Structure 1
């Protein structure tokens, strides 16, 4: 450890600038140590920041460095220095490097091509007022000496932030400045304010969808049925609240409905025309306060779902609702979640619900920006009922925009700083898992963002250009569109995609819809970069964001093969993945195989296991089907089944994915070995019932399976043609027989 300190002491000489001659040292500690205890070793040391549970930044005088070195020397020689517990808690010393200072956007996007360019520089928040003044005064002198233009600044007790204009050389110098905490690109992704001023007269008439178009049902605060972008697609709007009509007095339902009908409303607006391919239905289950105090919402939802399912054949229902009084704290699933799980099985419908919003009530972060995203993983940010339901799709939210309207109007002012950057989890989304560790949310979609106005301390700005664009209930007074942020507006993106699948595949059941959606999902790059811990990524992002390119139709570079069947208890079904020989040929490149399975078991809320049966899959490599069947059929005991090796390289593995009723996993192949080229791949589906579920389960429980093969980096790929030929070759002998 002494040598480690000496190395760090030499490395920090690379730092430049600073309002005094102290050294900035990064210390790695045991998470249980209070950073203040470091001053017992050297009172001259000043802790300036705890960047996470184990990383602390401190200013060291020469005397402080000497004190640490002396005690570490005594310890290394077998002595017993005072405060040994502090020394034992030290894991290492290091320099706060250029990479440490580089902000997320700069790390992801790299240096701008145009020069000069703007950067946001945050200085260390030194605690004493006199030092704080010295810090920013010295920094401004340094900027002038380097001929760096200061555009604007924010100077507060807990935050000193500069927006500067630099060239590449000046920017690299900033990354070495001792007093720079972070250096990042300003927010740049913003919703155009002119979109909110759209005049319907400038748009062509909206045609109605076809008479047999699939329906998407929005269970919410009602619907503005006369809205010019929605009216041609409205099939029916009813109220299921006693004494209230179907109209939307709040606006939430109309906003959700616009996204459920069109998906990305901004994309439609940019195209210059709105052409609905779905029919839109509305069931009012929330009042003017966007709440339900007139009775049990479970009864209102039950009545609405049965009405639209039986009268119109609707199978996709969006319920953007979360009960703040019912966070999921582990254990039994209760409330509306049980109702949805039961209805999904009984009526064969798909529910899409959000995780619910975290607003910090009772557990507000002291610093939204610097505690993000950790606060989203705390117990206080757990799922809200009905998000814990297993037979539904639960959707978390991603940020689409990071530049508020003010940031776009006043480009030199750094005051409004986004909490999340583009495609990162929204700062209000909630985290799983659900019962038994089931992955929740399963999917994420754009739902909005918040930005902190750093001039007004720890407050966020809402409705400042960071929300999702959609229909506004106040269209009659000229507000055709509005923007709102919340997980409520992430969920209808998925409901829209589910209904779009029915346009191409009208016979798809609710299980296949879920399997296709999660099978085509992947983690956004921004989420992978932000959440290095896979378990944290699963809790916030689930299986990821749906890629729409080949969701409804396969092409030569991406093919989806589907299957549906029903399986008895303690049985296996075997499927060979039709991998073409060319899939493994050619240069080193990324090839992907994804497998997804969904089923809808009966549930019982009085049981810890909750679901009456478990259907899961394994992907295995074997020389032939007989070998696979013998291997699985011989594994009659659970421990023997669990020991069967799955294909190496799974993104998640059976344990992580197997607790939910929709499961997915993926394998990436870049340079296949000779052994891999010779292997045949099989998906094995297995059902195991709970002993108490005998009176609830069917003799044969239905499920859906989707397998996706991708070869996107191969322009010459002919996956669709080759797989189609292989499948036809298998079918023809059966037809002749």
Structure 2
């Protein structure tokens, strides 16, 4: 067995430079015809007031308006029109929502009249930036699922309502909520549940068609949509549990992994001894798994590659398993908001057992992410991630076969291009920025029948091994952040050519095997397909890192997982053909060979640190001579990953209050690299500081996420190579958005991991050389 070593700690260099501030140019374009522009705005304002007057409800007398603005406009500047216009939300880069009083509207109209007649006003750039003024209409309030599916064909049905969050005004938020609840009572609309947070106010109500139409007209409502849909089906395989020895208890210090799902069959012979606690957070239900989904997911979360253990006949749990039931026997949650039950369960397991890794293998197919704002569940996970320092691993969600799906042979013929269609976008909570999102890969392409009838070509797989699963969903997330970050095996589909090209979803034997809640009936294992099976594999790896690094932060867990990701060759071919497939494959699947500990030819350098706003941190990366030498051509790699957990705001289109990113650069020494990034550097030079060439992802694409990884590959070095002639530095930079500075800590946490790999060189002694270099430089470093 290859010898392994503890990951090395890397410490930053002494200088901590300020980041160069950006210039103040707003980029607002002056209209060619100012008078015509103002006259047009006057007419649009009149129409918008008339539309707003048709609305119902409201906790005060102000009207709600939608201001369309030029891209790059600072939403806070809307108050420069009048101090009595209250900024409510930025719905996308060009849409701002605000409350306005009658006096504010009169003041605004007076400005427009003055400018239309050629007069002078202050802050005229704000008027230039305005493109249109409208009300927030019923169409604007209608959520994605409601648009697609319409109202349920019932006399009464459930709807989910989101109010404008009013994040900065606690008193107004309370008034808004109280007034809305009084209005519900007056209209005879039954409130079933609510979520009340600073960042999020949700209601689930029971109503009829007439009442639903009234909800769409209510001033204080941001959106109206159908409740979540979490359904999954089952397929069963039969094995004899007597073939496997009883499992032993994990050690007392084994890290915990929590599965938030449909419950757990705690008596399963392969799970029971590892179970630390199983609780139900579903009102009126116990912790037992009536559906089977939670037990299936739990087997993968506990053992990782469950099939490997099944084939070897060895099940040795190294983690402690916990279960929080939040879904019912139908794998749904109709009792109330799952956000509340998730928060309750996470706080419970974090407090009572210090659990830090949570798996959520479900998604709301009624809420695909089509850009814009994130919804309640994503928001909840992002907030909890930051407040509690925990890691959520979630699945991208599965596409449900329906009207937007291919038909017959189109499944095969249009694969994989249809994965990029809008109807295949990731669903709640997969877009959450502070979590790890996992998509699915196919593992097999031979169905049960094809194995038995070896000469019959009737059953044709859609995907080949290690290609994206035919049902997996695609990203990105907010502002183009890479989602999913990782992929793992979740199954495949096939087409039956003898049955009208019908789709074989769960009957082909192309899924993932794991534990069955019906074990007592003699069927201890099941096989199922879906991204639900991919996420717990990654969650297992994340929790397993804590065995070697018990104090690792959630940021470090994310960084280590992503820096050890490798694109399967089949996925790499897709991305080479079309870069858009990065939205399906992310950084790849995790290669665990050097995930927990380093090897001589694969070294991880790690740092957990904090950084102030508008500052740079500098890290010099040792490059042993043998890394850039050697006669034969071979693949070598430098990889860098950074993760942080920013505060978020759902009323800002950028969402994250702070930005932390990195660049990999070469310089002759520390003085030169600090000068490159010094705030006194000429702006054009600063914005164009060159990175080391040939990054796989690129600084612009990777920096949009809160876990960022990139990879530099080399096959040979010439005598003038920068890695031979200069030193290598990673520069970490923090820059808060102006609106987010009050939300951020003075020093924000981040984790950095740098890897050097020379895997094709079996004689490499990278670890020994790098360790020696770091120890020699230790006295002049700053201790973190």
TM-score over 0.5 for the alignment? yes
Partner of 2:345: 304
Task: Rate the CA distance shift 1:734–1:514 in 2: closer, same or farther, 3 A.
Answer: closer
Secondary structure of the structure 2 residue equivalent to 1:532: helix
Partner of 1:416: 459
**Structure 2 length as normaliser, TM-score?**
0.68
| Contact 2:260–2:359, Cα closer than 8 Å, also in 1 | yes
User: What are the equivalent positions in structure 2 for 1:616-635 lying under 5 Å apart?
Assistant: 616-634=661-679
Partner of 1:347: 388
Task: Rate the CA distance shift 1:617–1:585 in 2: closer, same or farther, 3 A.
Answer: same
| Contact 2:669–2:727, Cα closer than 8 Å, also in 1 | yes
Measure how far apart 1:694 and its partner are: 1.7
| Contact 2:319–2:544, Cα closer than 8 Å, also in 1 | yes
**Farther-moved stretch of structure 1 (264-273 vs 629-638):** 629-638
- Output the CA distance in 2 between the equivalents of 1:380 and 1:197: 35
| Contact 2:575–2:582, Cα closer than 8 Å, also in 1 | no
- Output the CA distance in 1 between the equivalents of 2:735 and 2:588: 28
Q: Specify which of 443, 446, 454 is matched with residue 497 of structure 2.
A: 454
| Contact 2:420–2:581, Cα closer than 8 Å, also in 1 | no
- Output the CA distance in 2 between the equivalents of 1:280 and 1:642: 48
Task: Rate the CA distance shift 1:563–1:204 in 2: closer, same or farther, 3 A.
Answer: same
Measure how far apart 1:198 and its partner are: 2.8
Measure how far apart 1:529 and its partner are: 2.0
- Output the CA distance in 2 between the equivalents of 1:479 and 1:460: 26
Q: Deviations over 1:400-451 (max 9, x none)?
A: 1111111101111111111001000000000000110000000000001111
Measure how far apart 1:638 and its partner are: 6.7
Corresponding position: 1:673 with 2:718: yes
Measure how far apart 1:679 and its partner are: 1.9
| Contact 2:436–2:558, Cα closer than 8 Å, also in 1 | yes
**Structure 1 length as normaliser, TM-score?**
0.72
Q: Deviations over 1:104-155 (max 9, x none)?
A: xxxxxxxxxxxxxxxxxxxxxxxxxxxxxxxxxxxxxxxxxxxxxxxxxxxx
Q: Deviations over 1:604-660 (max 9, x none)?
A: 000001000000000001111111011101466875433110001111111111100
User: What are the equivalent positions in structure 2 for 1:531-550 lying under 5 Å apart?
Assistant: 531-550=575-594
Corresponding position: 1:728 with 2:728: no
- Output the CA distance in 1 between the equivalents of 2:626 and 2:366: 55
Task: Rate the CA distance shift 1:487–1:700 in 2: closer, same or farther, 3 A.
Answer: same
Corresponding position: 1:663 with 2:663: no
Unaligned 5+ runs, structure 1: 1-194
Partner of 1:719: 766
| Contact 1:572–1:685, Cα closer than 8 Å, also in 2 | yes
Partner of 2:305: 264
Partner of 2:81: none
- Output the CA distance in 1 between the equivalents of 2:599 and 2:351: 35
Q: Specify which of 423, 430, 445 is matched with residue 380 of structure 1.
A: 423
Structure with the bigger RCO (C-alpha within 8 Å, sep 6+) is 2
**Farther-moved stretch of structure 1 (375-384 vs 670-679):** 670-679
Partner of 2:274: 233
Partner of 1:117: none
Partner of 1:324: 365
Task: Rate the CA distance shift 1:321–1:735 in 2: closer, same or farther, 3 A.
Answer: closer
Task: Rate the CA distance shift 1:599–1:637 in 2: closer, same or farther, 3 A.
Answer: farther
- Output the CA distance in 2 between the equivalents of 1:640 and 1:486: 48
- Output the CA distance in 2 between the equivalents of 1:724 and 1:294: 56
Partner of 2:245: 204
- Output the CA distance in 2 between the equivalents of 1:714 and 1:594: 17
| Contact 1:368–1:458, Cα closer than 8 Å, also in 2 | no
Secondary structure of the structure 2 residue equivalent to 1:593: strand
Q: Specify which of 279, 286, 290 is matched with residue 327 of structure 2.
A: 286
User: When the two structures are aligned, how many residues end up with a matched partner?
Assistant: 542
Partner of 2:97: none
- Output the CA distance in 1 between the equivalents of 2:291 and 2:237: 19
- Output the CA distance in 2 between the equivalents of 1:632 and 1:426: 43
Measure how far apart 1:727 and its partner are: 1.3
Measure how far apart 1:732 and its partner are: 4.7
Partner of 1:397: 440
**Farther-moved stretch of structure 1 (675-684 vs 557-566):** 675-684
- Output the CA distance in 2 between the equivalents of 1:670 and 1:710: 12
Q: Specify which of 548, 551, 556 is matched with residue 600 of structure 2.
A: 556
Task: Rate the CA distance shift 1:361–1:335 in 2: closer, same or farther, 3 A.
Answer: farther
Q: Specify which of 653, 658, 662 is matched with residue 613 of structure 1.
A: 658
**Farther-moved stretch of structure 1 (506-515 vs 196-205):** 196-205
Measure how far apart 1:530 and its partner are: 3.3
Secondary structure of the structure 2 residue equivalent to 1:211: coil
Measure how far apart 1:534 and its partner are: 4.9
Measure how far apart 1:498 and its partner are: 0.2
Unaligned 5+ runs, structure 2: 1-235
